[in-house]
């Protein structure tokens, strides 16, 4: 029997997108494939950026669309980080940050994060110390952070932004949903060199469509110019993303199921021998596992068609990052963990 592989390793949303997104593909006017968008004739980049701007209460020129959040992060680095200049990143963070800095000959310097008993925290004093020592050109803050799952609380975020004025600050909110708009306008208005980056890949289950966006502070004209797409965006992707934004009820139900499953995971995982589980504000959970089980556990899970992320980084090398899947998938994974340690 061919067993299905269940991927719980890249923080995707295995429930899939809202039905309205599929309807876009079913009902689309195929002629669109042949023609560039004509949004520019109405003075905007795209229908999607207009909608996003409206939702955030900003003008459309303050929204930057990209081929996923990764593309926006990379363009920001290409635009602002020169050779031998410094990017500041969290000590525990998405590996991609350092790679894009090295691609332009830049340096990455890590700022510390506090590993609590069952939760990670941003270390404000540590961030300030590193900032004043290395004078970075660009600072990345990720909230909730991948792979640690913790958020930088808004008052703390505002406090450090106030201290980091000379740098370009990227707030990577890939794991935040679109409805959370209320604080973004104030943040970017108060911090002209800040950009807040989001994506349709996670909450909206549209990783394959590759759309991310940034809300820009007023003083990032170099980036707006650098990232300009004179011939527009992928016209079907824009419409699919709009359909997702118009389906909040569908996504709310999924978020509720995930929240319940996350609690279930905590309860089950903390009981496993040698496990330390970290609280997460997002769709994945980081857990430390007994190091000598790493390879055997990986093979055991793969034997059951279950793929999770076994971390392999200097500070996190006996840890797993588990993406929450559907309720059925989560149950299979929990059963597999229990069977392994039985």
Residues of this chain that bind ligand PLP (CB under 6 A): 11, 68-70, 94, 142, 146, 172, 174, 199, 201, 207, 212
Provide the β-strand partners of residue 122. Answer: 113
Give whichever of 73 and 336 is closer to ligand PLP, judged by the CB atom: 73
Provide the β-strand partners of residue 160. Answer: none
Give whichever of 94 and 337 is closer to ligand PLP, judged by the CB atom: 94
110: three-class secondary structure by DSSP: strand
Give whichever of 218 and 279 is closer to ligand PLP, judged by the CB atom: 279
Q: How far is the CB of 97 from ligand PLP (least distance, A)?
A: 8
Other beta carbons less than 10 A from residue 49's beta carbon: 20
User: 43 to each of 32, 40, 66, 134, how far by Cα in Å?
Assistant: 20, 5, 18, 41
Residue 185 burial (10 A CB sphere; 0-12, 13-18, 19+): middle
Tell me the residue nearest to ligand PLP as measured from the CB.
68
In angstroms, the CA 201 to CA 308 distance is 18
Q: How far is the CB of 146 from ligand PLP (least distance, A)?
A: 4
Cβ contacts of 58 within 8 Å, gap of 6 or more = 185, 188, 215
Tokens for 44? 């905007």
Q: How far is the CB of 211 from ligand PLP (least distance, A)?
A: 7
Q: How far is the CB of 277 from ligand PLP (least distance, A)?
A: 19
Give whichever of 175 and 250 is closer to ligand PLP, judged by the CB atom: 175
Q: How far is the CB of 89 from ligand PLP (least distance, A)?
A: 11
In angstroms, the CA 224 to CA 61 distance is 8
Q: How far is the CB of 279 from ligand PLP (least distance, A)?
A: 17
* DSSP category for residue 77: H
Q: How far is the CB of 44 from ligand PLP (least distance, A)?
A: 22
Give whichever of 70 and 268 is closer to ligand PLP, judged by the CB atom: 70
Element spanning 130, H or E: helix 124-134
Give whichever of 92 and 94 is closer to ligand PLP, judged by the CB atom: 94
Give whichever of 21 and 174 is closer to ligand PLP, judged by the CB atom: 174
Cβ contacts of 131 within 8 Å, gap of 6 or more = 88, 111, 139, 163, 164, 167
């Amino acid at each position: 029997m061919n067993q299905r592989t269940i991927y719980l390793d890249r923080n995707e949303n295995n429930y899939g997108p809202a039905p309205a997104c599929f309807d876009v593909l079913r009902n689309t006017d195929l002629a669109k494939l042949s023609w560039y968008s004509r949004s520019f004739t109405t003075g905007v980049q795209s229908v999607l950026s207009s909608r996003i701007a409206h939702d955030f209460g900003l003008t459309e020129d303050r929204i930057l669309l990209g081929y996923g959040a990764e593309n926006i992060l990379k363009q920001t680095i290409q635009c602002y980080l020169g050779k031998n200049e410094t990017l500041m990143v969290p000590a525990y963070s998405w590996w991609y940050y350092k790679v894009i800095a090295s691609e332009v000959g830049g340096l990455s310097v890590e700022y510390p994060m506090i590993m609590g008993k069952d939760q990670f925290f941003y270390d404000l004093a540590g961030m300030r110390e590193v900032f004043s020592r290395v004078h970075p050109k660009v600072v990345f803050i990720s909230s909730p952070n991948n792979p640690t799952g913790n958020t930088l609380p808004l008052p703390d975020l505002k406090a450090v932004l106030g201290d980091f004025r000379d740098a370009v600050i990227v707030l990577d909110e890939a794991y935040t949903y679109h409805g959370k708009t209320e604080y973004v306008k104030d943040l970017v208005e108060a911090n002209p060199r800040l950009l807040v980056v989001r994506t349709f890949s996670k909450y909206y289950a549209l990783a394959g469509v590759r759309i991310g966006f940034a809300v820009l502070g007023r003083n990032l004209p170099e980036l707006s110019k650098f990232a300009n797409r004179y011939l527009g965006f992928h016209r079907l992707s824009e419409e699919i993303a709009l359909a997702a934004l118009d389906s909040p009820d569908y996504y709310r139900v999924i978020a509720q199921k995930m929240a319940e499953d996350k609690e279930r995971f905590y309860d089950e995982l903390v009981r496993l021998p040698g496990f330390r589980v970290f609280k997460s504000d997002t769709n994945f959970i980081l857990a430390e596992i007994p190091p000598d089980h790493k390879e055997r556990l990986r093979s055991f899970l793969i034997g059951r068609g279950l793929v999770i992320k076994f971390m392999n980084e200097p500070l996190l090398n006996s840890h797993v990052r588990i993406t929450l899947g559907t309720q059925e998938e989560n149950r299979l994974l929990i059963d597999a963990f229990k069977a392994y340690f039985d």
